[in-house]
Structure 1
Amino acid sequence: MGLKKYSLFGAFILLVGALIFSGCGKDTNKDTLKVGAMSYAETLEPTENYFSWGIVRYGIGENLVKFDDSMKPQPWIASSWSVGDDYKTWTFSINDKVNFSNGRKVTAQAVKESLERTFEKSKRAKSFFAYDSMEANGQTLTIHTDKVYPNLPGLLGDPLFLIVDVQSERDGRDFSKEGPIATGPYVPISFTKERIELDKNENYWDGDVGFKHVVVDSINDVNSRAMALQAGDIDMAVNIAAGEYGLFKDNKDYIIEETPSLRVVMVRMNHNGYLNDINVRRALVAGADRENYAKKLFKDTFVAGRTPLPPSLNYGYNDIKIPETYNVERAKALLAQSGWVDTDGDGYVDKDGKKLRLNFYTYTARPEVILYAEALQVDYKKIGIDVNVEIVDSSVVDKVTRSGDYDLAITSVSTASTGSPVWFLKQYWGSNIDGSNPTNVSGFSNPKYDELLALAETTVDDTQRYNAIVEAQQILLDDSASLFLGYPKINMICKSYIKGLKISPSEYYIITKDLKKE
């Protein structure tokens, strides 16, 4: 079947983009930074969906900790922390210099109220950790967790736990429309899905802020984003795709920051329908030419997929056994073992009078996932599977995967958003038998896998944690629980007059106080 598309690509977009951007004047104002990025939020409520990522990325909010390039938590709003002998009592010292953007001091009580708000409003919060109690005394916050979490500071580094002024909400501020009162170098002054405008936080606690005003435009089409940067209508672009990368490389007018990411692009498989059959899942894995996608489709801006976790995390990437690699004949044989053969000569396998037809959801915000889906559609036709690709908004993909109303869904996911991959592995494949893991509605459940993740989550022994994570990945691969397509490199590109550009593997810190225009 053909592609069902809900967005426009190709020549039409290029033409429209050219007309739009040719009408925009170049902004040489040193006080203003213009950024082109993918859409990231429908509201500014940090506990809704994953919108907290945008709030941290664009300099509005900050966490107790900040990750360095090795994804180790470093002091941020918390100046230091310690843990008791029971590994369940954590004490955080709140930096005495930190103020909210409204000038109110950030005390331990304010941090406590912010964290309590997050747990009250976000179902995701308890998937990170749970606590028995919290106590605030001056600038000291004590958290008593329900069990051992050796990586609690890292868990608190996820943008979901950014620190907001709850009192401002009680006083009438609408976080959803106006944005939270937080501690970052910039404050939102207007917001739509298409654009957010920010002003310098006059009460910023951590030094000079580079711009008086920042504009972030949502430019989802990669061609238009590249054209906007070329035309000078934006100063900086977040993630330029492989096809446009060459326009800026080795060009003195641009600065490129690139790093291997912590992301994996993966195909989630719903085990409750046709894919309840492991032979069908294995055939889907064997039918995917991942090496070719990385080299030809993405021109080596991706590393070909093997394991759930990328090589940048070094959890057995080169040592884990890979049960299925690209092999068209192997894929056909696996399907035949389960009775899926082409009986009518139309090129598609069938059984009991029904063709093996799968619905495949992908979304518009990340162009690489669409390219992957289209390539897979072609390759799966070679093994006789009819795949219908539906390109929709990311919120639709989130809805269908949470409801279980899908066969295949492709997504790009950060595997170590907290400095450890345990949360990622648990969220997508941890058992949901008792409803404790609403993110996993795929039907995958493995008691041994759950035991390994529980061990990795609580052990203070690094070797024990490493071995548990490696073994858990092997279980996913042996079961063909999902298809791991590749690991992207991430980039930011700016005009050469922008200084202070730095990319982080976490992808959290994009607009920082250090950016300035010369």
Structure 2
Amino acid sequence: MKHRKTWMALLLCAALLLSGCAGKQEDAKEETSQKVLNFGCQMYDDGSVNTAMAISSSWNCMRYGISEALFRFDDNMNVEPWLAESYTVNDEHTQWVITLKKDIKFSDGCPLTPSSVKAYFDYLKEVGPGGSAKPQKYLEYEAEVTADDAANTVTIVTSKPYANLPGQLAYPVMAILDVEHTKDFDNGAIGTGPYMIDKFNGVGVGYDMKANPNYREKVPYDKVHILFMGDASAKTMALQSGQVDLVENITNVSDIQNFQQDANYTVDIASGVRCGFSWMNLNGVLGNKTLRQAILMGIDNDTICSSKTIGGLYTAGFSVLPSTLSYGYDKLVNPYKYDPEGAKKLLDDAGIVDSDGDGFRELDGKKIDLRYVSYENRMLNDFSNAHMQYLAEIGIACTADFGSSDDQWSKLAAGEYDLNNNNWTTVGTGDPFEYMANWTTDGTYCGYSNPEYDALYEQLKGEMDTEKRADLIRQMQQIVIDDALVIVDGYYNSSMIYSKNVGFAHIHTADYYWLTTEIVPA
């Protein structure tokens, strides 16, 4: 309740200074007559909405209802037009002509035009190499973008065929902003979404949002207060106390069950396309494949996923792509099923033994003590703690390095870890093409290089046939499995939970759409 009282007090004080007591009473009356949503959510990348400088920031911008892209995904991860009206593509899949919807405006009142779309793509190209959201990740091949305002079309010509350009353009980094008039990209981005930024209240605090007066349909709420909440317990308490009306992704199983059994709340859960997994850094002690194999054999993933702590939030699995997707999961083979005694024998036979009797093994005369980086979101710390307990049983020591999501990401990018637990959307562009780049020589964060994998990825770039693409992706999954590159936590199910103050809310399969016009007052 503390945050709500704070912003109410600030509004009343401001009214008093500007208009006196009569103005204060009038403004207070106006505030109570408005439709207001209080939304509790995790903070990523210090709450920045700078789409070009960090991937998580671009997600923030779309999740907060600020930005929209030319295309979007439905709950089956099929691509559908959003700011675009339609598109055509040539037989070679190298020229895409996209027609925009008419009469769409940015929140500042400026019209969305083909030129403004091109201006945003040009902006990405200009600033992207300085940040992590490089445009070449989403327009993989060199592309020429032209705008025809008279015809209301944007034409994109690529140097190589694209199987799924609309899916690439649906990714949050590619959401269109008014770059000409946005002065503060970090906390003041101007988009076409239903809500716009009124005030950034600071890192760890949140945003005050208001309805976009130029939106093309009625916006359900006059104001939305985004309150950053660091963990699931904070979200639970805030929802129960009435401080917030809506939260995303509470990850305490017992709390979710309590909300499900309470008629005052609604729990909306989506079968997700996220995979939780821990990277293994090959630029260190985990460059030893035998050690990696033993680690996988020493962890009982099925038991962790079915435990009271995790149960129902994750589906157990052993590949980097969820079993629900159509990429051949049932044809994959797991050579590293849970077998702690087999793991111990594997290590013993390789000479990775405990020679000093302290209970932990050494490699090349040095005690193995894995630096395990993780953060408190989507049960990642719970998985990491469970992994460390299992590994201790086969004589492998770990040291926890738990911090924020920003800490996790920066240490992953810098290679400052042995194990690094995170949670990724696997088909963020409609298929796993961009995601599977994580294990290419040029795209990896773990020091991995495999010519066979790289060759399959290169084939995937130019393959247009759906069945052939699926088979290539299956082969790539099997290589990642065989080379023992990740500890798979499982496949995560996202959720939104809301009180009776909210009439309807929905969590989408693509975890990009939080504050939408679907969310309405009771």
- TM-score of the aligned structures, taking structure 2 as reference length: 0.90
Residue 167 of structure 1 is matched in structure 2 by 180
1:304 to 304, 316, 323: 316
Residue 338 of structure 1 is matched in structure 2 by 350
Alpha-carbon offset, residue 420 of structure 1: 0.6
Residue 15 of structure 1 is matched in structure 2 by none
Matched, 1:210 2:215: no
Gaps of 5+ in 1: 1-18
Residue 24 of structure 2 is matched in structure 1 by none
- After superposition, the Cα gap between the structure-2 partners of 1:295 and 1:204, relative to the gap in structure 1 and judged at 3 Å, is same
2:466 to 453, 462, 469: 462
Residue 154 of structure 1 is matched in structure 2 by 167
Matched, 1:325 2:337: yes
- Find the residue that maps to 1:311 and give its secondary structure: coil
Residue 16 of structure 1 is matched in structure 2 by none
Alpha-carbon offset, residue 353 of structure 1: 3.2
- Find the residue that maps to 2:278 and give its secondary structure: strand
Cα pair 1:259 1:489 within 8 Å, conserved: yes
Residue 53 of structure 2 is matched in structure 1 by 48
Distance 1:46 1:496 in 2: 33
Residue 425 of structure 2 is matched in structure 1 by 414
Cα pair 1:30 1:517 within 8 Å, conserved: no
Cα pair 2:45 2:406 within 8 Å, conserved: no
Residue 481 of structure 1 is matched in structure 2 by 485
Name the stretch that deviates more: 491-500 or 25-34: 25-34
Structure 1 letter corresponding to 2:136:
K
Structure 2 letter corresponding to 1:476:
V
- Find the residue that maps to 1:176 and give its secondary structure: coil
Residue 230 of structure 1 is matched in structure 2 by 240
Alpha-carbon offset, residue 500 of structure 1: 3.3
2:197 to 188, 204, 211: 188
Structure 2 letter corresponding to 1:82:
T
Structure 2 letter corresponding to 1:149:
Y
Residue 409 of structure 2 is matched in structure 1 by 398
Alpha-carbon offset, residue 176 of structure 1: 1.6
Name the stretch that deviates more: 310-319 or 66-75: 310-319
Alpha-carbon offset, residue 485 of structure 1: 1.4
Residue 327 of structure 2 is matched in structure 1 by 315
Residue 211 of structure 2 is matched in structure 1 by 200
RMSD of aligned residue pairs (Cα, Å): 1.9
- Find the residue that maps to 1:155 and give its secondary structure: helix
% identical aligned pairs: 30
Structure 1 letter corresponding to 2:198:
I
Distance 1:337 1:277 in 2: 14
1:70 to 76, 99, 110: 76
Distance 1:251 1:29 in 2: 28
- Find the residue that maps to 1:234 and give its secondary structure: coil
Distance 2:75 2:4 in 1: 38
Matched, 1:113 2:122: no
Cα pair 2:317 2:323 within 8 Å, conserved: no
Alpha-carbon offset, residue 517 of structure 1: 1.1
Structure 1 letter corresponding to 2:344:
K
1:312-364: CA deviation from partner (whole Å, max 9, x where unpaired): 32312222101101111111122223211112222111244321111111123
Distance 2:231 2:195 in 1: 26
- After superposition, the Cα gap between the structure-2 partners of 1:390 and 1:120, relative to the gap in structure 1 and judged at 3 Å, is same
Alpha-carbon offset, residue 269 of structure 1: 0.7
Distance 2:405 2:179 in 1: 29
Distance 1:95 1:352 in 2: 63
Distance 2:386 2:135 in 1: 36
1:508 to 494, 507, 512: 512
1:111-170: CA deviation from partner (whole Å, max 9, x where unpaired): 01111112222242212223331111111100011211110000010000010112104x
Residue 273 of structure 2 is matched in structure 1 by 262
Residue 12 of structure 1 is matched in structure 2 by none
Structure 1 letter corresponding to 2:180:
Q
- Find the residue that maps to 2:243 and give its secondary structure: coil
Residue 98 of structure 1 is matched in structure 2 by 104
Name the stretch that deviates more: 309-318 or 53-62: 309-318
Cα pair 2:44 2:405 within 8 Å, conserved: no
Name the stretch that deviates more: 497-506 or 485-494: 497-506
1:3-49: CA deviation from partner (whole Å, max 9, x where unpaired): xxxxxxxxxxxxxxxx9689899998661000111112322211121
Equivalent residues in 2 for 1:431-442 (5 A)?
431-432=441-442, 437=443, 440-442=444-446
- TM-score of the aligned structures, taking structure 1 as reference length: 0.90
Distance 2:148 2:3 in 1: 54
Distance 2:117 2:302 in 1: 47
Cα pair 1:25 1:233 within 8 Å, conserved: no
Alpha-carbon offset, residue 377 of structure 1: 1.0
Cα pair 1:131 1:143 within 8 Å, conserved: no
Alpha-carbon offset, residue 264 of structure 1: 0.6
- After superposition, the Cα gap between the structure-2 partners of 1:278 and 1:212, relative to the gap in structure 1 and judged at 3 Å, is same
Cα pair 1:306 1:317 within 8 Å, conserved: no
1:416-473: CA deviation from partner (whole Å, max 9, x where unpaired): 11111111011x11112xxxx3xx2412111111121222232111111010000000
Name the stretch that deviates more: 25-34 or 72-81: 25-34
Cα pair 2:326 2:470 within 8 Å, conserved: no
Cα pair 1:279 1:337 within 8 Å, conserved: no
Distance 2:247 2:268 in 1: 11
Cα pair 2:36 2:221 within 8 Å, conserved: yes
Alpha-carbon offset, residue 66 of structure 1: 1.1
- Find the residue that maps to 1:52 and give its secondary structure: helix
Distance 2:161 2:147 in 1: 21
1:167-201: CA deviation from partner (whole Å, max 9, x where unpaired): 104xxx22223x21110000011122221110100
- After superposition, the Cα gap between the structure-2 partners of 1:367 and 1:495, relative to the gap in structure 1 and judged at 3 Å, is same
Cα pair 1:108 1:140 within 8 Å, conserved: yes
Cα pair 1:349 1:355 within 8 Å, conserved: yes
Structure 2 letter corresponding to 1:45:
N
